[in-house]
Amino acid sequence: MNHFAGRLGIVQRVLPSYRAPLFDLLAQHTDGLSVFAGQPRPGEAIRSAMHLSVAHWQPAFNLHLLSGPLYLCYQRGLLDWLQGLNPDALVVEANPRYLSTPQAIRWMKAHQHPVLGWGLGAPPVRGPLAAARTARRLKFLQQFDGLIAYSQHGAAQYRALGIPVERVFVAPNAVAPRPNAPLPTRSWDGQLTLLYVGRLQARKRLDAILRACAALPAQHQPRLVLVGDGPARAELQQLAQHTYPSTEFTGHLQGEALAQRFNQAHLFVLPGTGGLAVQQAMAHGLPVIVAEGDGSQADLVDDHNGWLLPPGDEAALRAALAEALADPATLQAKGAVSYQRVQDTFNLESMAAAFIHAINTVKG
């Protein structure tokens, strides 16, 4: 991985625990990295990091304004942090809802240092005043010297909006490092294990997993393990008692306990939105069933290593589970493809290298 010969600043609304390894890795390839980030709103399903091991974390004071589609955030202390750090390059979230971002951009431009935006992409705007809203979004994004997308899909959206090709970069979204252990060898005792890892909340569509498992032929019904916690846990446990009573709820796991669950499973499933655990599952050599969400899933999953489903399609979920659980040998082969993709592309090292490349390009 190349090195950025300068101080790097990163602005985040919050500092999720799963991002800490990326920022610490980036810090090892700069002349200093400081992250400016605050706390989530009460009730948000975000597990915040408690510290950074290599990078510096400067706590921000987040002012949360309004809610839902009208939500805005202002971060106090941002200019003071910039003046103290004087970064040679800055990476911020490419989100116009964060009201202090334009101040940071102006400060960096005044000091002739580049600013990069980091985001999911720019999906087409529909509904009332779509043309005006699209123009406003483009004006916001044109302030950046470069844009880093999570996926090829997101990068294509930035380019389609009018951002020049040479200013758009892709850093494949990852939370797990390149595997250093060999591909796990799995056996089965007549019943395969289906695993979910993540928050237990409505948008993950875990109710659909319960119904899909219950609808399978008895000889193909899996051992279902749901790892995680969240606001929907009690409701899901009640539904499981009536729908699929053998479901195991483990609560939140991390470290070796979580790795053990990945290695004991035969198939990973995520029928709802989000889910960086998909990349973790692939790192453990698991085939995956995921719903299309923000577009990054299409980079990770295809017929060679799993099943990519239309969002909210329970019939497609049932069909994919039936096909997968009836053929353990194919699961092993698809899992090997998942493992190789994480080895080659979808890992923290590749993500950090893409960041350093983008920063050096716009700085150079």
- pLDDT tens-digit map of 150-201: 999 999 999 999 999 999 999 999 998 999 889 988 888 889 999 999 989 8
Please report the pLDDT score of residue 295 as a whole number: 65
Residues 149 and 50 in one domain: yes
Residues 354 and 337 in one domain: no
Please report the pLDDT score of residue 292 as a whole number: 81
Residues 162 and 27 in one domain: yes
Residues 21 and 167 in one domain: yes
Residues 231 and 263 in one domain: yes
CA distance 247 to 10: 41
User: Considering the chain, what is the average pLDDT of its residues?
Assistant: 94
Tokens read off for 323: 């096909």
Domain membership flag for residue 182? no
Please report the pLDDT score of residue 185 as a whole number: 86
Domain membership flag for residue 181? no
Kindly report, residue by residue over 22-76, the tens digit of the pLDDT: 999 999 999 999 999 999 998 787 889 989 999 999 999 999 999 988 999 999 9
Residues 159 and 29 in one domain: yes
Q: Find the mean pLDDT for residues 249-257.
A: 94
Q: Find the mean pLDDT for residues 318-346.
A: 95
Q: Find the mean pLDDT for residues 296-321.
A: 91
For the cut 80, the answer to whether the pLDDT of residue 271 exceeds it is yes
Among 3-12, 47-56, 122-131, the minimum mean pLDDT is found in 122-131
Domain count, the chain: 2
Q: Find the mean pLDDT for residues 103-125.
A: 95
Please report the pLDDT score of residue 128 as a whole number: 84
Alpha helices, H only, 162-254 = 206-215, 233-243
pLDDT band, residue 359 (cuts 50/70/90): very high
Residues 38 and 158 in one domain: yes
Tokens read off for 304: 């060679």
Answer whether 114's CB lies under 8 Å from 254's CB.
no
Which residue reads 């000889």 in tokens?
219
Domain membership flag for residue 170? yes
Residues 47 and 155 in one domain: yes
Domain membership flag for residue 2? no
Please report the pLDDT score of residue 294 as a whole number: 62
Domain membership flag for residue 27? yes
Please report the pLDDT score of residue 69 as a whole number: 85
Answer whether 118's CB lies under 8 Å from 148's CB.
yes
Domain enclosing residue 220, as ranges = 193-344
Q: Find the mean pLDDT for residues 80-109.
A: 97
Domain membership flag for residue 3? no
Please report the pLDDT score of residue 124 as a whole number: 87
Domain membership flag for residue 152? yes
Q: Provide φ and ψ at 162, rounded to 5°.
A: 125, 5
Q: Find the mean pLDDT for residues 357-362.
A: 98
Q: Find the mean pLDDT for residues 331-351.
A: 96
Domain membership flag for residue 238? yes
Residues near 100 by beta carbon (within 8 Å), at least 6 away in sequence: 73, 74, 75, 76, 78
Overall pTM surpassing 0.85 (yes/no)? yes
CATH number at residue 223: 3.40.50.2000
CA distance 266 to 248: 15
Residue among 236, 227, 323, 246 nearest 284 (CA): 227
